[in-house]
Every structure is written in structure tokens, then in C-alpha cells.
Amino acid sequence: MCGIVGYVGHRDALDVVLHGLGRLEYRGYDSAGVAVLTSAGTLAVTRKAGALANLIAELDGTGRAALRGTAGMGHTRWATHGAPTDRNAHPHRDATGRLAVVHNGIIENHAQLRAELEREGVELTSDTDTETAAHLLAAAYASCGDLPLAVRTVCRRLHGAFTLVVTHADEPDLIVAARRSSPLVVGVGSGEHFVASDVAAFIEHTRDAVELGQDQVVTITRDGYRITDFHGAPASGKPFHVDWDLSAAEKGGHDYFMLKEIQEQPSAIANTLRGHFIDGRIVLDEQRMDIQELRDIDKVFVVACGTAYHSGMVAKYAIEHWCRLPVEVELASEFRYRDPVLDRSTLVVAISQSGETMDTLEAVRHAKDQKARVLAICNTNGAQIPRESDAVLYTHAGPEIGVAATKTFLAQIVANFLVGLAVAQARGTKYSDEVAREFAELEAMPAAVTQVLSTVDQVRELGRELADAKVVLFLGRHVGFPVALEGALKLKELAYMHAEGFAAGELKHGPIALLEPGLPVVVIMPSPKGRAVLHAKLLSNIQEIRARGARTIVIAEEGDETVRPYASHLLEVPAVPTLLQPLVSTVPLQVLAAEIARQRGYDVDRPRNLAKSVTVE
């Protein structure tokens, strides 16, 4: 959470930084701010509460002339410490106004540092943890006159997870940045260098990037960059080339990124599958554990948050079925503070789009402390969670800018299946021709999802009808249960509507009391040709709902005539194997939530109070 960008080069820094912030706004939009080292030798700062548009309006109003220079930085905030106001907006400055810092993360010992600063007579002007760093940095710089050294000195005093970017008016040609457990990449251009939370901030200028390691400091100038650890020893990052182009980070004619990302789901699935079935075997992207370790697994935990957790719930059905292993799916934030029984023969699958979700990262560390093997499923190359894992499978969904996860959910489900097949293959619980058949079924999914996408107009019409609903319930069984949870989550986060997902069998154990005439209930029907017993049970649930006058919105396999008479509204999806049904039945729910949000006048890409990467616990 929080997006940061820094620039030193030959262009107008304000322009570069504002464009970069525009691409990082998915990380937070509580406030935005910029600092530019001006040609007059001053540090000019402007910051404003609210979205980036507010900052731009402010700059347009006051004129940008005071912020002309070729080095600068910016920040877009997801508030943790201090309300989303102008005074809490970054950059934060020291008392002289010559040093500025932007920060992503939480400085956990800020209260102690604040007390210490106040005892020394420093007057703090914001409620943030970040401002303490500004004052400490200024004091360190005053005593050594070396900005990288000052940053290293202060970083050693900070606890928690943080990325900092620091400028000083006395050092007009350089910017210093540091990271601990929060993302930071360097963009390597020609006569210009960048630092940012994400390559999206500088992709229009360069695709050559360097991922910083844990506890590293980087100094960028026009001509180069230099990395050290927090003690000043030379260090190196991990260079990489960004293989997606700028259009992937643009809306491509859609009103919202999320709508584009929903449309990109067939290619997200195809790209996630590509290159993972070679010579009749499933292969992962990175494997720092040997095949015997995979063979010896006797238990699986899946840990994740939010939508990724729902994808993990789907994984449970597949891994148990294919591998004959016990699988527990846990919210990472709960797993991390329990005493789960883990050992060397436990496989922990950590699923995270961003690869930087703090709850999931801490769950990974908790698992590793107990010697479990960790396999990460991640959409962000080189992020912290894959770096700390024993094996990695990337979802190649491309950048997801909309805060609500869509294409990465489908890609995660596919990646989960690949992991299940890889383990089944290693343990010998599936013959190679069976693995090949399952893989071929996965390869047919992009076409099936494309077919669902051809029905979005019908779903949008339903969205218009439901725009004024107060409550929507979602029911499913088996793999339809996590789909119900995901449908409810999408509606909550996008349309701010009270929505709940239930296992359909639980209806009679309590939620049935919520039913009243007209209440919309979305039912995810299993295939009548798959597990007939599940289909029959859900048909009974639909009768129970109708008997109470509630409205049934049914997602069912095309040609399932048995359900038609009982559906107030029927949305058909193509027939696919049972385990793969979430890949088709989730899509209408994403479209439905987006349309209801639009009808209610909400920003689909930037739901209130949320951020794309949740780097705090």
C-alpha cells in the first residue's frame, strides 16, 4: 500500500512523477504529494488529501513553475497512521524544509521515536509515523553531510516494514531509497534513473529494472545507481526486463481497468498454463526443493487472503481429489498466529497476486520457521513472497490495476491446479496420461471463458435491476461455495452492498432466517452431468428459497432445463468439468458487481478504503 516514485534525469521531474503516480494510484488514494529539487536549489513540495486528481488540480491552480527541476519524487497514500488529510499527506519534511521523505509501510517503533524527538524539542506537524523518519534523517545528515550514509544510519533504527525515498536540497542530483519488507524497484534508463514501488511507474521510459533485496539502500543519479546494505557494504539487486508493454497498464478503451481485466481473463489463463507442461510433465517456474521432498509431502496447507484465499478453497477440492492428501485452507492472518502442526513433510502453498501481502508473507515465515516447504503462487515477478519460498509458480495474468482482483483470481485457480497436478505426478497418484488429460481440459478454458464474456450485456442488464438492492446472498456447494464467497466479496468491495456467501447446505442452519420476499439470492448450480447429487441438493435449496418469496438468480450450465422453471433470472455458462466450474461461474459475478457499482456511481477501480497491496498486518 502507498505508491512511491523517485526520478533523477533530464526530463521535467514533476511530469515524470505525476505520470508515475497515476499508474501507482491502485496502491492507495487517500492523498498524493510531490517534492521537486528545483533548479533554484530549493525543495518544493505540494501535497493534497484525496485522489491524485486533487493534487493535479491544486498544481494547476497555483501554477507548476515553482516545481521545475530534473529530480523529484511523489507519493500516493493509503492511510495507516493519521487521517487522510493535507497535513498527513507525504512528502514529509524536516524542520528546515530542505529534506523530504516519502514512505510505504509502517514504522512500528514510531511512538518511541516520536517521544525521543519531542524530548529533544522537535515539533512534529503531522500524525504520521513517517514524519519521525524525516527528522531523524535530517539529524543524521546534519552530522555526516552524506545522504546515503544518513539513510543507512536511520534505517538501522527503524522497526517494521518500509520503503523510503529521500531527497535533500543540498544534494540536488541524487535520490536515495531504502527497503525492508516492502517493494522497491530501480528503473535503469539512459541518462535517467527511477525508483518506484512498481515498474508500472516508469514503464513508459524504460523496461530495464532492478529489484532491490531485503535491507538494501540505493542511490540513483542521472548516470547510474549504487546499491549497498544498511551497513554500507556493496550489494546487488536482481536485474530483470519487463516483458509487458505500456498498453497492459492502460485502459485500452474501457471505462475502467477492471472491465478490461475481466475481458483479459482468457489470455490470463492461457498465459498461466503456457510452458508448464513439457515432455508429459508439469513444471514449475522456480524449484529450490528436490522432487523427493515433493514426494514426501503428507499434508498441505493453503494460506492466502481475500480473493486469493477463495482461489485456495478451490485448490483444496482439486488437491485432495488428485493427490489424496489432507488439505487445510487458512486465512494467512489467522494461520500466522496459531500453532499449526507443520514439519518438513508439510507443503504450504502461499497464494498472493501482489506477492507482498504482509499477512501472507508472515504466514510464509511462520511456516518456514517450522521447516515446512513453501510454494508460492504469485503474479508479481521477484516479489518478497516468491523470494522467500522454496518453489514458485507465477500466474502470468499481467498487471492488474483494478483494486478488485478478477483476472488474477482465475489465473490463481489455474495455477493451483498445476500445483495439484505437479504434486500428484511426484507422488504417483495420477498417471501421466491422466495428468495430460487434466492439462488438456485446462487448455480448453480460455475458450469457455470467452464464451461467458459474450453474455456480459445480459449480466449488466441484471446489474441495473439490482442496483437498489439492500442485501444480496450467494449460495454454492463444493467448488461453487468459494465462488459464492467471491461473488459476495466483489459486491461488498465494489458496490458497498451488504452481501454474504454461504455453503448452500448451511442455509437451513441459520441464514434462511434472512430470506424475505424479493430478496435476491444468487445460486451457483453445479453441472447436472457432474455430481448429480450436488445438483439435486441445490435444486432443493432453490425450492426452499422460492418458498419464502425470495428472488433466485441462478448461474447454471447451458442446457440445464431442470433449473429453468425455478430461476427468476437464469445466467447460463458453458459446460466444463466440475473442478473447473469456478473459472466460468465467477465471471458473471464480477460483471454483476462492477455494473451495480457503476449504477451506484462508484469508482470501480478504486473502491473506498481499499488498496491493491496490503503491506500492513
Residues annotated catalytic, as ranges: 2, 612
Q: Does residue number 381 form part of the binding site for ligand M6R (CB under 6 A)?
A: no
**Under the criterion CB under 6 A, does residue 614 sit at the interface with ligand M6R?**
yes
Site for ligand M6R (CB under 6 A): which residue of 197, 353, 389, 590? 353
Using the rule CB under 6 A, which residue among 8, 136, 358, 405 binds ligand M6R?
405
Per-position DSSP letters for 483-533, written without gaps between them: HHHHHHHHHHHHH--EEEEEEGGGGGGTGGGG--TT-EEEEEPPPTTS-HH
Residues 353 and 419: their CA atoms lie apart, in Å, by 16
Residues in the chain: 617
What the block records as the C-alpha cell of 461 is 442488464
Q: Which is nearer to ligand M6R, 203 or 308 (CB)?
A: 308
Residues 333-352 close enough to bind ligand M6R by CB under 6 A: 352
Nearest approach in angstroms of CB 458 to ligand M6R is: 23
> Is there binding between residue 354 and ligand M6R (CB under 6 A)?
yes
The answer, yes or no, to whether the previous bond of 574 is cis (omega within 30 of 0) is no
Decide: is 271 part of the binding site for ligand M6R (CB under 6 A): no
With the CA atoms of 109, 111, 113 and 119 taken in that order, what torsion angle do they form, in degrees rounded to the nearest 10?
A: -160
Positive/negative CA dihedral, 341, 344, 345, 347: positive
Q: Which residue has the cell 492472518?
A: 333
Q: How far is the CB of 403 from ligand M6R (least distance, A)?
A: 6
Q: Which residue is nearest to ligand M6R (CB)?
A: 306
99, 73, 78, 98: which is closest to 88 by C-alpha?
78
Least gap, CB of 179 to ligand M6R (angstroms): 18
Residue 106 near residue 81 (C-beta atoms within 8 A)? yes
Q: Which of 4, 199, 273, 308 binds ligand M6R (CB under 6 A)?
A: 308
Q: Which stretch binds ligand M6R (CB under 6 A): 239-247, 268-276, 306-314, 333-341?
A: 306-314
Q: From 94, 93, 90, 114, select the one nearest 104 (Cα to Cα).
A: 90
Name the packing angle between helices 130-144 and 110-119 (round to 10°).
Answer: 50
Position 272 contacts ligand M6R (CB under 6 A): no
Q: Phi, psi at residue 238, to the nearest 5°?
A: -110, 105
**Minimum CB separation from ligand M6R for residue 411, in Å?**
11
Of 411 and 507, CB closest to ligand M6R: 411
Helical ranges in 158-305 per DSSP H: 257-263, 265-273, 291-295
Q: How far is the CB of 205 from ligand M6R (least distance, A)?
A: 26
Residue 144 CA to residue 134 CA, distance in Å, equals 15
Is the Cβ of residue 538 or residue 597 nearer to ligand M6R in the bound state? 597
The answer to whether 1 and 78 have CB atoms below 8 angstroms apart is: yes
307 forms part of the interface with ligand M6R (CB under 6 A): yes
Report the residue number, 70 or 380, with the smaller CB distance to ligand M6R: 380
**At 289, which amino acid appears?**
M
Q: Which stretch binds ligand M6R (CB under 6 A): 74-82, 208-216, 235-243, 401-409?
A: 401-409
Interacting residue with ligand M6R among 182, 272, 360, 552 (CB under 6 A): 360
Q: Which is nearer to ligand M6R, 38 or 353 (CB)?
A: 353
Of 16, 169, 397, 403, the one binding ligand M6R (CB under 6 A) is 403
Number of Cα atoms under 13 Å in the Cβ half of residue 540: 11
Among 472, 511, 515, smallest CA distance to 491 is for 472
Find the shortest distance in angstroms from Cβ 209 to ligand M6R.
Answer: 19
> What is the per-residue binding string for ligand M6R in 551-590, x denoting contact by CB under 6 A?
----------------------------------------
Least distance (Å) between residue 237 CB and ligand M6R: 22
> Considering only residues 464-493, where is the footprint of ligand M6R by CB under 6 A?
493
Applying CB under 6 A, the residues found at the interface with ligand M6R are: 305-308, 352-354, 357, 360, 403-405, 493, 610, 613-614
